[in-house]
DNA sequence: CATAAACCTTCCAGTAGCTGGAATGTCAAG
DNA sequence: CTTGACATTCCAGCTACTGGAAGGTTTATG
């Protein structure tokens, strides 16, 4: 029988977050001690570790909730999980491409800024370059 | 003299967002028509375009606010801007590395999942793999 | 003149995933 | 008896918006 702080130490998930997970239904309502303190067992630690691992893989709480709900109903969620994983990989690849592009733009901007002389009147300022660059989103 | 909808069309920034920017002080309170409608001029469009460009470069509203405030005080914010740009580039590089790592992990997981047989009893399920993998954040 | 559509206004609430803090209760040690 | 370390609930805030309700204004049309 664990108190919330012990469960927290065991799993690395802050107590505050554990309560939050309970609030949103990701964890079932915890048993309570006579003093209303939450009481946990090993299987709670496992569930929490699963959540933490999935979060580390950038699964959303909603996705995790779906997977856990399937498991709670004793349905193997593998197919679903595999779909999520695939779509995550796709998203990550897209995001990486976006970031590469963004980095490229910022680098160009930075280099251009380096070449500008000091100008108190702001006729030449990186700001002006910003106006010109980065006009791609929401064209 | 532009109404908010026209300014929106001109800049590609939703009217709702323009009001929001005013609320948080990124735009000065707009002049009002007799009917309380907001009225804008060309220079508002420019300021808004600057904001939009900087957002496209992933500057936070706070960073943008700082830059604009400096400009409003007729101080060239170049040095500050250059610092922001540099730190953004650093962050982006770090983020890309994170995402590459994450993608790698997900790919390994996916491939392992592919090789698992159908198992109604969930003894072999990607879920179990998740428990083992992704235990890197918040060790 | 009534009415509809297309504007505009304000204000409240919600998104994700927590985190901080206040006010309060419980428990063990000195 | 008090101090400290736990726990509890509830409310608010973070980012950058976005949706929607409830209402006012303007213009066009029947």
Average pLDDT over residues B91-110: 89
pLDDT band with cut points at 50, 70 and 90 for residue B138: very low
pLDDT band with cut points at 50, 70 and 90 for residue B3: very high
pLDDT higher than threshold 50 for residue A6:
yes
3-class DSSP state of B94? helix
- When comparing pLDDT for B127 and A115, which is higher? A115
Instruction: Report, in ranges, which bases of strand C sit under 7 Å from a protein C-beta.
Output: 7-10, 16-21, 26-27
3-class DSSP state of B74? coil
Domain parsing of chain B, residue ranges: 1-75, 82-139
Q: Which nucleotide across the nucleic acid strands is nearest to B35, CA versus C1'?
A: D25
pLDDT higher than threshold 60 for residue A139:
no
- Per-residue model confidence (pLDDT) at position A112: 85
Task: State CA B117 to chain mean position distance.
Answer: 42
- When comparing pLDDT for A43 and B124, which is higher? A43
Q: Which nucleotide across the nucleic acid strands is nearest to B9, CA versus C1'?
A: C7
pLDDT band with cut points at 50, 70 and 90 for residue A58: confident
CA–C1' gap, A84 and C13, in angstroms: 30
pLDDT higher than threshold 50 for residue B134:
no
Closest among A108, A89, A94 to B111, alpha carbons compared: A89
Q: Could you tell me if B96 lies within 8 Å of chain A, comparing CB atoms?
A: yes
- Assess whether A9 (CB) lies less than 7 A from strand D: no
- When comparing pLDDT for A13 and B73, which is higher? A13
Strands, DSSP E only, in B1-139?
31-32, 38-39
pLDDT band with cut points at 50, 70 and 90 for residue A4: very high
- Assess whether A84 (CB) lies less than 7 A from strand D: no
Closest among B45, B93, B136 to A131, alpha carbons compared: B45
Q: Could you tell me if A15 lies within 8 Å of chain B, comparing CB atoms?
A: no
Task: State CA A66 to chain mean position distance.
Answer: 16
pLDDT band with cut points at 50, 70 and 90 for residue B115: confident
On whether the CB atoms of residues B96 and A100 are closer than 8 A, the answer is: yes
Give the model confidence (pLDDT) of A24-57 as tens digits: 999 999 999 999 999 999 999 999 999 999 998 8
Q: Which class is domain A1-75?
A: mainly alpha
Distance (Å, rounded) from C-alpha B65 to C-alpha B28? 11
Give the model confidence (pLDDT) of B16-71 as tens digits: 999 999 999 999 999 999 999 999 999 999 999 999 999 988 899 999 999 898 88
pLDDT higher than threshold 60 for residue A138:
no
């Amino acid at each position: 029988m664990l108190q919330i702080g012990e469960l927290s130490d065991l799993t690395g998930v802050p107590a505050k977050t554990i309560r939050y997970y309970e609030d949103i239904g990701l964890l079932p309502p915890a048993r309570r001690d006579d003093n209303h303190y939450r009481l946990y067992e090993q299987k709670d630690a496992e569930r929490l570790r699963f959540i933490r691992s999935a979060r580390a893989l950038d699964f959303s709480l909603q996705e995790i909730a779906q997977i856990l709900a399937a498991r709670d109903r004793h349905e193997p969620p593998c197919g679903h999980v595999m779909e999520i994983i695939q779509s995550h990989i796709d998203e990550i690849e897209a995001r990486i491409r976006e970031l590469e592009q963004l980095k490229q733009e910022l680098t160009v901007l930075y280099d251009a800024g380096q070449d500008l002389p000091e100008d108190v009147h702001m006729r030449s300022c990186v700001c002006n370059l910003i106006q010109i660059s980065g006009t791609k989103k929401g064209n």
